[in-house]
Amino acid sequence: MQITIEIPDKLNAKLQEKWGNLSEKLLINLLLEAYQNQLISTAELGELLNLSSRLEVHEFLKNAGIYLNYDQEELEKDLDILEQLKHQ
């Protein structure tokens, strides 16, 4: 899907000077908002941003000042992985 936004030239120049690629900036902000509202998961966020690992996603969120959505299901998965590693 493609969305077109009309931005006055004067504002556009200021925004591009500050943030560079506005399409990328808007997409990142939209994805962060979707993540904060639990519309997408950590894995989906990483996939949409082409981040290669969960740690990269966590670092990205940290740099954006956003807390990780870490629910009971993710905790249980992590505990299972730790338990498997202990028995290796």
Q: Quick check: 70 pLDDT over 80?
A: no
Say which range, 37-41, 55-59, 71-75, 76-80, has the weakest mean pLDDT.
Answer: 71-75
Residue 87 — very low, low, confident or very high, per pLDDT cuts 50/70/90?
confident
Tens-digit pLDDT profile for residues 16-54:
999 998 999 999 999 999 999 989 988 899 999 999 998
14 φψ region: left (φ > 0), alpha (ψ -120 to 50), beta (else): alpha
DSSP per residue, the chain = --------HHHHHHHHHHHS-HHHHHHHHHHHHHHHTTSS-HHHHHHHTT-SSHHHHHHHHHHHT------HHHHHHHHHHHHHHHT-
pTM of the predicted structure, to 2 decimals: 0.73
